[in-house]
Amino acid sequence: MGSLANASVTTLAAPSEPGAAQDSVLRYLGFHAEYLTVFTRTQHFLMRGDGPLAFDMRYYVAIMAAGRHRCDWLVDQLKEEFLANGGEPRWLDGLQHVPKKLADLNEVNKIMAHRPWLLNKSHIERLAKGRDNWSLGELLQALTVLAHYHAVCSFVRGCHALGVDQPDSTEPSDASTPSGAKEPQQCAGSPSDGAPVQQLMQKMRTLSEQQLRAADQLTVEEKNEIYAAVDSGAVEAEQPSQQPAPDQLARFVEDAEFAYEDFSRRGEPHTVSTFRVQDYNWEDHGFSLVNRLYSDVGVLLDDKFRIAFHLTYQTMGSFRSVDTRLFRRAVWRYIQCLYGIRHDDYDYAVVNQLLDRRLKSFVKTACVYPERLEPSNERLKHVMEGFQRSEKVHVAILCLEARLQSELLYALRAVMRYTT
């Protein structure tokens, strides 16, 4: 996993973006200097760089995104930025006071935040045609801002719920790998006795020795059964809060009851086709479309996806010289499975072998119900036992990026279908 990179947040602060909400993001990301750099560069480009959307519009779109997940601290920060960039104060009284162009985006925001597989070309057509229409460039930027801030809500709420804020004096301050190490070695001053992590490493070792079953050796029926068993509604997310959304958030949210539903439910027929990445994926399709309609952001997003997915210091808990690829890939694939995205060349049996039920429940809640995560929840204290704080942050980064990519894939596919 990714361990403490000995990075200083103060030396890598995002340009011109002060505030408590932004400080929280930077503080957590300070564990991973390389990722922090590309994250701040991407967010700065989205919100302050060249682009077709006016700055006040960008920040209002971000407010709409954060409002869906009840992130009051983030909404407050974005409201300050909105006003500082010439935003109309009356817009902050609620969606009924904004121009029709912005109000029309609300339906897409709602769908992307909770059930992105429902997004289709008709949603894009309604925004891109007629009076008060969005240009495709404006729309691409707005869709990217929506997905980005949905995912940021997942990241910060996930870190907070896992107790990343709590100091851990036993965490190693250097994530370098011992040279010439052949077997995993335990660090001095380990955060726990390492037993849960050691069990996980043994599972990964066994899977590696089996060289994993090749997907082409399985029948179509076997592939479908394995994929369906990864979630199928069987993993329960944390329960929702009974508290209604405060008025300062509710004014930015319409149809507040609309929420995530399991993409596939055990014993029920599929109403929406599974999204297969061999038909539409980021590398071959999404990247080029983004770069064509919203220049340069595709390169930034691509760097961010790549760094998050491959990030490792070869540590896991108190052990070093660990190949964590199987675990990282299992987390990413599970998240995309929650959104109905399937990789036919991946053996989904690995997900259930490497991710225990508590971790799957946390990941699911962080990605699709981040507003439900509360740090006081006793169950969350046992998630990722034996892992370092920095490794918990890395899992939250995977939640951020895999969710972001999932939302963008559905949005970009809908745009592509509209334009062809």
pLDDT digits (tens, 9 = 90+) for 282-308: 999 999 999 899 889 999 999 999 999
270 pLDDT above the threshold of 70:
no
What average pLDDT does this structure show over 124-147? 95
Do 45 and 17 touch, CB atoms closer than 8 A? Answer: no
pLDDT digits (tens, 9 = 90+) for 114-127: 999 999 999 999 99
Which pLDDT belongs to residue 295? 84
Asked if 10 and 18 touch (Cβ cutoff 8 Å), the reply is no
pTM of the model: 0.86
- 367 counts as catalytic: no
Question: Average pLDDT for residues 361-382, to the nearest whole number?
Answer: 87
Cα(212)–Cα(294) distance, integer angstroms: 40
Residue with tokens 């029709």: 100
Question: Residue 7 — pLDDT band, cuts 50, 70, 90?
Answer: very low
Lowest mean pLDDT among 101-105, 188-192, 218-222: 188-192
Exposed / middle / buried, residue 113 (Cβ in 10 Å: 0-12, 13-18, 19+): buried
Distance CA 200, CA 300 (A): 33
- Tell me the backbone φ, ψ of residue 276, rounded to 5 degrees: -100, 125
Check whether 9 has a pLDDT greater than 70: no
Give the length of the chain: 420
Neighbouring CB atoms inside 10 A of 334's CB total 25
* CA distances from residue 78 to 58, 343, 368, 377, 396 in whole angstroms, order as listed: 10, 36, 22, 28, 22
Residue 330 predicted with pLDDT over 60: yes
Structure confidence at residue 179 (pLDDT) = 33
Question: What percentage of the chain carries pLDDT values higher than 90?
Answer: 63
Give the model's confidence band at 237: pLDDT under 50 very low, under 70 low, under 90 confident, else very high: low
Pairing of strands 185-186, 315-316: unpaired
Contact 368, 233 (CB under 8 A): no
Decide which of 248 and 409 is more confident. 409
For residue 178, the model assigns a pLDDT of 33
Element (H, E) at 185: strand 185-186
Across-strand partners of 320?
Answer: 185, 315
Please name the helix (run of DSSP H) or strand (run of DSSP E) that holds residue 358, with its range, or none.
helix 357-368
pLDDT of 406 strictly over 50: yes
Q: Chain centroid to CA 262: how far?
A: 17
Alpha carbon 340 to its chain centroid, in Å, reads 15
Residue 184, C-beta contacts closer than 8 angstroms, at least 6 positions apart: 201, 316, 319, 320, 321, 322
pLDDT at 15: 36
pLDDT of res. 13: 34
For 231-344, list the strands marked E by DSSP: 275-276, 315-316, 319-320, 341-342
The predicted-structure confidence for 144-183, as pLDDT tens digits, reads as follows 999 999 999 999 999 999 988 776 544 543 343 333 334 4
Tokens linked to 93:
């009284």
Beta strands in 86-163 (DSSP E): none
Looking at residue 90, its pLDDT comes to: 97
Question: How high is the pLDDT of residue 238?
Answer: 63
